[in-house]
Amino acid sequence: MIRRFLKPRVVQDSGAANGADAPETGHVRLEDDHARALEVGRARLIVTSAMFSLAFAVIAGRMVDVSLFKHVAPRPHPRHQTELTFERADIVDRNGVLLATSLPTQSLYARPHEIRDPADAARRIAQILPELNPTELKAKLASDRSFIYLRRNLTPEQVYDINALGIPGLYFEDGEKRIYPQGDVTAHVVGLTDLDDKGIAGAEKYFENELRNRRDPLQLSIDVRVQTILHTELEQTIADFHAIGGTALVMNVRTGELLGMVSLPDFNPNNLSTATPAAMFNRATLGVYEMGSTFKLFNTAAALDYGTATINTLYDVSHPIKIARFTIHDYEPQHHPLSVANILRISSNIGSARMALDIGVDRQKAFLARFGMMKPTAVELPELGWPLYPKDWREVNLMTIAFGHGMAVTPLHVVTGVSALVNGGQFHPATILKRNPGDPIPTEPVIRPETSVLMRQLMRMVVTDGTGGKADVPGYLVGGKTGSAEKSGAGGYHHKQLLSSFIAAFPITDPRYVVLVMVDQPQGNKESFGFATGGWTAAPCVGNIISRMAPLLDIEPQGSMDSLKVLKARAAREAKANGTLNGEESLNGVE
């Protein structure tokens, strides 16, 4: 590029031509500076244009190179993710449904010595937190304490509003709050924590250390679907019969897993104020009760397993038994001998007592001990009740225990024991933890498999032809036993205060689950014709539970099982082999 420079032009006026004085040099200098500025500006413009042209050329070339010749994978932008960690692990049911979890929260506290105007501060805080009493709040803010909590677990909106007050001396503390999505439905199983996030009941207390040291959820054996069914059906039964409480349980007889456990009244673990001592009392695992005629299942099984009787052995039940100051009688007196099968079917106290006399004290104690009736259950809960039984086990105790009086156990004891009666004779300790396929299952044989078969048949007969008819569910082959125990108290037993229960197993041909319902002090109503016994109160509740839960657990309906014919055939074979009376006669009255 050739630069051209302008020569300065000298401008003279006419006076110079006439020989006057020469012009001043300032005119020439101004002309020269003007020309030079124009030249510099032009040069800068050219350089700037060249640089822009070069830049655009480079960008265009890069775009052509990237779009036509190279494929460059986009680089992912790094994400700044913050993983929330909590002090306690979650608790879930067997299907992964959330039972307990923790959420981040903030609590409001104050340093009173930094509060300038306690009265004004109390008034303004109470406007945002109306549950706080302004007078009490003022006293706290005016105290000489160095630290004081004002309100725990604020919502984000409350935190924002309190912060916006701009009151010196107010602070927030980060923490976490335990949340129970299922509310009162799983209250007695899951339990709850206190304000300091420490377990105070249920699984939260039993697994306190484990929940704090593990990151993955603690999985329980409970099925929320089954648990909900138990809760709604038991609640309805208690309301219908104006009872004071009750409990319901479901156990897998092959593993000992509890799929459901409800105790009413209960509490909402999300609201600590509802957790009163009465509401927190777990009737299923902590309360011990004389379970009444459900205990006749163990008495009958002991007689069959020890061989002191067969299902066609006859016992005289025509007269009450008087022993010491007690008289043992039947609710519906019979005036002829009854077989073992019929003693269980009509629930004869007299017949059960006479069977127990043949068994004897030592064998009765040993038999019940094998079923765990002499110690607390092994379930993973802190609320466990100790069985009550006679220190001096005499003949009168032998007879009354045979029909469920004189010995008190928890409902869970009965559920665990009956599971062993119907599953082939294998005792599995109760658990609220899910057992995965392949996990070892603690097992102890307690009766012969043949005894278990007989017990299943007898339990089916109780439903089809005995006191448990209202528990029957078409297609699901329910077997079970009623129980109606008079509650003891000051002055002896109260005849109008009953613990009414029903325990069932289904399907009875190959049992998978045992269901127990116990109702505390039900009152007869119009539908029950004034009766408050187990067959009228608890049995229908069990039937409703089974009809609702069986389809959910993929149990298909089956054809009917004529358990009576099976029993008669077996009784006839035993009678023929022993050379005793005809087996058909031993089932007198069943038809």
The per-residue pLDDT for range 162-208, each reduced to its tens digit, is: 999 999 999 998 888 999 999 999 999 999 999 889 999 999 999 99
pLDDT in tens, 198-228: 999 999 999 999 999 998 999 999 999 999 9
The better pLDDT of the pair 69, 365 is held by: 365
Question: If you average pLDDT over every residue of the chain, what do you get?
Answer: 87
Q: How confident is the model at residue 581 (pLDDT cuts 50, 70, 90)?
A: very low
* Cis-peptide, bond into residue 134, ω within 30° of zero: no
Distance CA 258, CA 256 (A): 6
**178's torsion region: left (phi>0), alpha (psi -120 to 50) or beta?**
beta
**pTM given for the model:** 0.78
For residues 6-18, average pLDDT: 45
Distance CA 268, CA 276 (A): 10
Q: Which of 102, 293, 528, 563 is catalytic?
A: 293
Percentage helix, strand, coil, to 5, in the chain?
Answer: 40, 20, 40
pLDDT in tens, 268-292: 999 988 999 999 999 999 999 999 9
Go through the chain and tell me how many residues it has.
591
Distance CA 120, CA 115 (A): 10
Tell me which fold the domain 228-586 belongs to.
Beta-lactamase (3.40.710)
Respond yes or no: is residue 293 known to be catalytic. yes
Nearest 5 degrees, angle CA 353-CA 388-CA 250?
85
Q: How confident is the model at residue 561 (pLDDT cuts 50, 70, 90)?
A: very low
Inform me whether the pLDDT recorded for 63 exceeds 50.
Answer: yes
The better pLDDT of the pair 87, 271 is held by: 271
- pLDDT of 333: 87
Percent of the chain clearing pLDDT 70 (strictly above) = 84
pLDDT in tens, 14-32: 444 444 444 444 455 556 6
CB environment 80-115: b (16+ within 10 A), e (fewer): eeeeeebebbbbbbbeebebbbbeebbbbbbebeeb
Domain ranges of the chain: 228-586
